[in-house]
A = this chain, B = another copy of it.
C-alpha cells in the first residue's frame, strides 16, 4: 500500500473541492467524502427552485470533477463521527477512514431558530430542496387555476408567496418568483392574472442585503417593488403554520412559504466534541486549524474565522474556496516540504445579487453597480465560476434562451404523484 500521507476531506462543496484541487499538485493521497455524488453550484440553486435551470445544469458528479487526479479517491458516504484520538473518520456505512490531516468543509444547513417550521417553509440548500420548492410553487399555480370559481379565499392563498429573509437568497428568490408568476400569468394560465399574485418578502433588518452598501440595498428594494414584490422591513415572522405565516402581528394566508432567513453550520463542532460558536460554527485560528488539533482544518461555512488582518471572513463561496486552498497549502508545507503560505488572509472580491432577469446589484468595493450592467457582470461571473465546461455552455444556452423567449424549459413537477396532492376543485359548465 501507498506510504504517501493521507489527507481526508469531508464535503465536496467549494471549500472541499478547492482543497482537493490544490492537494492534487502534491505527493499525497486524498480521500474526498461526500454524502451526495455531485458538487453543487449553490449560488444558482434558486434558479432550479424557480424553474429557470435544471438540476444537471448546476451540478457536476464529483468523480468527473476530480477524474484527472490519480491520487484523489471519492467516497459516497455520510460522516457519523470523528475519532480525534485515533485520527480516523467514522462513516455511517461502518467504515473508518484514518487520516494524517483532515479538512472539514461540510457547509451549512437551514436554521429555524428552534421552531418546527421545516416541513412548511422549505429552505434551499440541496437539489432535493430546490425540486421540492419548485413543486410547491408550480402546484400552487395549478391549484389556483382550477380553483377559480369555488373558494376565492383558498385561491388567494395559492397565489400568495412569502419569502422569509432579505439576504441575497431571499432577494433572488422573491425576484425569480415574481418573474416566474408574471410569465405564468401572461402565457401559461388562462385565469391567473398578474394582479392576483402576491409576493411578500419579509426581512427583520431595516434594509435588504445588509452586506451591501445602503445605496445598493435601496436599489434592490426599488427593483423588487417594480416587479410587484411587497417588501416588509423590520418585521419578523413569529409563526408559520398550515394556513401561512404571521408577520409581526399580521396574519398572511399563503400556501407557499420559503425560508431564506437563517443558516447554521453542519455538525462538525459536535463531531469534534467542541462547543460551536455563533450558528454552531467551529472557531479556528489563522491557519484554519482547530485549537490544539493542528491536523484538523475547518473551512467554509462550517467555520468561523478572523483572518490575519482581524477581518471576520464571510460565509460565501469565494471565501470557502480561498480557505480550502489555504488549508491545502499549510498541509502540503508540513507534509511535503512545500513553501508555507503564512497566516490566512481573505481577499474580498465583492458581493453580487440578482433581482429578476435584467437587474442585479454588484459591490466590488471600488465599483458599485446596479441595473442591467450589473446583471451582465453577475451573469459572466456566475457562468465563469460554474464548474465543468459543459455546464457553462448549457447555462449560457439556457439563459440566452430564457432571456429571448422566457420559455422555462425546467418547469416540471416531479417527485410525487401531483394529482393526488390536489385539493378539492370543481369545474362546471
Contacts and interface: CB of A to CB of B under 8 A. Distances in A.
A78 B390 CA distance: 38
Interface string A34-61: 0111100000000000000011110111
Nearest to A417: B35
A95 B425 contact: yes
A418 B76 contact: yes
B146 A75 contact: yes
A335 interface: no
A187 B64 contact: yes
Contacts of A429: 1, 6, 98
A61 to B, nearest CB: 5
Interface stretch (A245-253, A261-269, A363-371, A391-399): A391-399
Total copies of the chain: 2
A117 interface: no
A123 to B, nearest CB: 16
A383 interface: no
A409 B63 CA distance: 12
A92 interface: yes
Nearest to A147: B93
Interface string A120-145: 00000001100100000011001000
Contacts of A75: 146, 427
Given A142-B37, A390-B407, A414-B55, A190 B73 contact: yes
Contacts of A419: 35-36, 76-78, 92-93
Nearest to A1: B429
Contacts of A63: 188-189
Interface residues of A, number: 71
Contacts of A414: 55, 127-128, 131
A110 to B, nearest CB: 15
Contacts of A131: 414
A398 to B, nearest CB: 8
B146 A423 contact: no
A188 to B, nearest CB: 4
A366 to B, nearest CB: 37
B390 A425 contact: no
A138 B188 contact: no
Contacts of A188: 61, 63-64, 67
Interface in A379-429: 388, 390-391, 393-394, 397, 401, 405, 407-420, 422-429
A422 B59 contact: no
Contacts of A428: 96, 98
Nearest to A79: B419
B146 A61 contact: no
A99 B35 CA distance: 51
A146 B76 contact: yes
A114 interface: no
Contacts of A426: 93-96
A59 B410 CA distance: 9
A97 interface: yes
A31 interface: yes
Nearest to A61: B411
A418 B36 contact: yes
B425 A94 contact: yes
A405 B64 CA distance: 12
A92 B38 contact: no
A427 B76 CA distance: 12
B422 A93 contact: yes
A93 B37 contact: no
21 contacts: A36-B413, A36-B419, A37-B138, A38-B413, A54-B55, A54-B57, A63-B188, A67-B188, A76-B146, A76-B419, A76-B422, A78-B419, A78-B420, A93-B419, A93-B422, A93-B425, A97-B427, A128-B414, A390-B401, A391-B409, A394-B409
Given A36-B419, A415-B415, 8 more contacts: A37-B412, A55-B412, A61-B188, A61-B412, A64-B407, A67-B188, A77-B425, A78-B422
